Every structure is written in C-alpha cells, then in structure tokens.
Amino acid sequence: MQIPAFALAIGALGIFKLTYSAIMQFITAYGYLGIFALMTLENASLPIPSEVVLPAIGFFVKSGQLNFALALGAALLGNLVGIMIDYYIAYYLGKDFVYRHARTFHIKESWIKSFEEWFARNGDFTVFVSRMMPVVRGLISFPAGFALMPKGKFIAYSMLGTLIWDVVLIAFGYQVGVYVAAGNIAYTLALIAVFAIALYALYKLAAARTRK
C-alpha cells in the first residue's frame, strides 16, 4: 500500500518533537492543510505547541505567504476536529478508558483529575476559560465528555475561547513580522521575551487555580 506523502511528512518530522524550525518548514510546505493538521493534533491533546504554531501563522500572514482569513479558518477547523476527537472518546468510551490509556494520549492522569474537579466545581464556563490556557488547554474536552455536556454547548464555549486564543497569538506573530521586516531586532527579542513570560505566568496561575 502506498503511504500518502502528507503522512510521510508528518512521520519524518517526528510529530511529537516538533521544533520551531520544523513547524515553520511544515507550514511552508503544506500551507493551510498543514495548519489544519497541526491544530487538529494539538487539540487532540498531542504535544504540538499552539504557542509556536499560531505565531508562525501570523508571521507568514505578515510576509504575504498566507491569507489571514483562510489561515484562521484552517486553524479553527483543526481546533474543532481535535477537541471533538477527545470529547467523543470521553463521551462514548468513558472515564475508565481514558484513565487507563492516559499515556497513549500523552497526558498525565493527574492533569485530567485536576481538570475534572475544576469542571465539577465551576460548570460549563470552565470549557471557555480552559481554551485560553497554555500547554494544557486541550484537556478540558475529557471532563466535558465524562459529564455528557451537550455537544452544542461544548462546541460553543470551546470555539469562543479558541477564537480569542487563536486571534491573539496570530496577531502576536504578525507583530513580530512587522518588527523583523523593519529590522528592529531589539524590539523583536523584547516582544518575544514578554510574550514567553506572559504565557508562563498564565500557565502557572491556571495550574495553581485548578489545583485549588
């Protein structure tokens, strides 16, 4: 059987250890299809960093290689497919299956438990908030599925939070592109540093709140 070139490309990249350079090359090679694939995997709880993918998209938009509306649309569609994969796994296969196969999903059991407790205390709005949390934002799909949250409400809360997250990070990448094009290396490095610190602080704050 002949393996599609797209599948071979994913394998060749070592999809679980993507570097910034590899992500840039992947998007360059496959464009909107590559964006869709990366965001689908990221939202299906696989270790693809949207914190790198989305700014890269913004950079390409600034350089004229991608159209903003089409790139955002591809990212959002990938988001939707990815979150629904985990949601349906949790909804139909249940908690025992997910916990038993947590390593297969490349997630820690303790993370799912924290999100499950957070969801139980705070309800559906947790889905919206979680979609704007760095690193672990895809995990909320499991508790929502465990709780049999209505599909329409889950999609609405998820995609609203996702839209905000995607637009902010793409805009950041676009601004980096502006500084790079202008030759303002100092501004570029400062912007990246502030962005990295903000993401780290947001992650630590969110992690502390879910543990409580």
Q: pLDDT by residue (tens digit) across 122-155?
A: 778 888 888 887 767 778 888 889 888 999 999 9
Tokens describing residue 139: 């995990």
**What six digits make up the tokens of 37?**
């694939």
Mean pLDDT of the chain: 79
SS3 category, 44: coil
Residue that is written with structure tokens 């994969």 in the block: 85
- Asked whether 57 and 19 are in contact (CB, 8 A), the reply is no
Taking the C-alpha atoms of residue 47 and residue 169, their distance in angstroms, rounded to an integer, is 17
Residue 183, token pair as written in the block: 């030759």
pLDDT at 48: 79
**DSSP letter (8 states) at residue 24:** H
User: What count of other Cβ atoms lies within 10 Å of the Cβ of residue 211?
Assistant: 10
> Which tokens go with 3?
């393996």
Model confidence at 85, in pLDDT bands (50, 70, 90)?
very high
Q: How far apart, in Å, are the Cα atoms of 8 and each of 3, 27, 35?
A: 7, 15, 16
The Cβ of residue 205 has, within 10 Å, a number of other Cβ atoms equal to 11
Q: How many domains does the chain have?
A: 1
Token pair for residue 156? 């609405």
Statement: residue 22 has pLDDT above 60: yes
Q: Which residue has the higher pLDDT, 181 or 102?
A: 102
Range of the domain at 52: 5-211
Mean pLDDT of the 48-56 span: 84
Tokens read off for 52: 């790198």
Model confidence at 180: pLDDT above 50: yes
